[in-house]
Amino acid sequence: MNYAVEVNHLEKSFADFSVIKDVSFSVPFGKVFALLGTNGAGKTTIIRMLTTLLKADSGQIKVAGYDSTNESKEVRNAISLTGQTASVDEILTGRENLILIGNLRHQNEAQKIQELLERFDLIDAADRPVQTYSGGMKRKLDLAMSLLGNPKILFLDEPTTGLDPQARATMWQVIQEIKATGVTIFLTTQYLEEADQLADQVAILNHGKIAVQGSLAEVKTHLPQGQLELTFLHKEDLQKALTLIGGVANEEALTLTVVTDNQVAETTKLLNELQQAQIIISQFEQKQPTLNDVFFDIIEKERGK
């Protein structure tokens, strides 16, 4: 199978500090791949190496089938990159920014630019200086500029950092629309809910190493424990249940959370015990591990070493 991105045994150090340590992963064409990690984990360093802005110390990188070292020009022709901050000229208008990038990429087609302005809901602001745009509008313009040249692979380095919730939701919708056109998207983010919403595959980078990677479902199996959350009408019932079956109680919410290891038999046994003890439950919910649970489990285990 050919991959949009293939990375094998990648390493990178700055002076005596090792930032990326033997990292390998692959990204299928037409998918959204999310690289997760805390600040300083090495996400941006990896993106810079994948986009030919930084040379690796060792390892192999292939992007769109091209070797990033020996075929860097071909790699650059196949990709676009949107960095952590919007790379727009604030003196120019939105339309002029698109024309500028179009000229640089030999894609200065008025119809294409008009389509992008419409697609990103920037028509009304197209002929205003970008310095009058909101943060969300600047990010949308930056993303529109990245699509000039019809890239096969779009790299997005923390594209929603600093945006308000409404602008972030709009950006998520735009990214999903871009994916629907067949463009492969390589996304770095600190927002776990962003990866949950957008990604087909994820990798968690911790201290320069890939701690876990795979589909969302596969990554969540890193934590096998499911949880049963029970809600009670009265504090007395909560206390009785806590004594009977254990767990973690939240007295304010009148809830009790019990680990069930995703076993139906274990859940049924707990509910039967409560019924036999005549402890009234107002509702219960079986919860599976989230990406957030996996991420923090990895981080906390590393801190405990």
pLDDT tens per residue, range 190-249? 888 899 889 999 999 988 899 999 988 888 877 766 788 999 999 999 999 999 999 889
Answer for the pair 112, 148: CB distance below 8 angstroms, yes or no.
Answer: yes
Tokens matching residue 242: 């806590």
Beta bridge partners of 11: 58
Phi and psi torsions of 139, nearest 5°: -65, -40
* CA–CA distance, 138 with 129 (Å, rounded to integer): 11
* CA–CA distance, 119 with 121 (Å, rounded to integer): 6
* CA–CA distance, 280 with 282 (Å, rounded to integer): 7
Tell me which DSSP letter residue 93 carries: B
* CA neighbours closer than 13 Å in the CB half-sphere of residue 273: 13
pLDDT at residue 130 tops 70: yes
Q: Which percentage of the chain shows pLDDT scores above 70?
A: 96
pLDDT in tens, 162-174: 788 888 888 898 8
Residue 78: name the closest of 156, 149, 29, 180 by CA. Answer: 149
Quote the crossing angle between the two packed helices 110-119 and 94-104, to the nearest 10°: 130
Residue 7: name the closest of 210, 206, 187 by CA. Answer: 210
Give the per-residue pLDDT at 304: 54
Tokens matching residue 150: 């019809």
Measured in whole angstroms, the distance separating CA 264 from the mean position of its chain's CA atoms is 31
Q: How many CB atoms within 10 Å of residue 180?
A: 9
| Banded model confidence at residue 16, pLDDT cuts 50, 70, 90 | confident
The whole-model pTM stands at 0.79
Could you tell me which residues come within 8 angstroms of residue 180 by beta carbon, excluding any fewer than 6 positions away? none
Give the per-residue pLDDT at 123: 95
Answer for the pair 99, 108: CB distance below 8 angstroms, yes or no.
Answer: yes
Give the per-residue pLDDT at 76: 93
Give the per-residue pLDDT at 90: 94
Tell me the mean pLDDT in the region 20-35.
95
Sheet strands (E) in the chain = 3-14, 17-28, 32-36, 58-63, 66-67, 79-82, 153-157, 184-189, 201-206, 209-215, 227-231, 248-250, 255-259, 283-287
Give the per-residue pLDDT at 186: 97
Tell me the mean pLDDT in the region 95-120.
88
Instruction: Give the C-alpha distances (Å, rounded to integers) separating 246 from 27, 258, 273.
Output: 43, 7, 12
Give the per-residue pLDDT at 141: 92
* CA–CA distance, 21 with 82 (Å, rounded to integer): 25
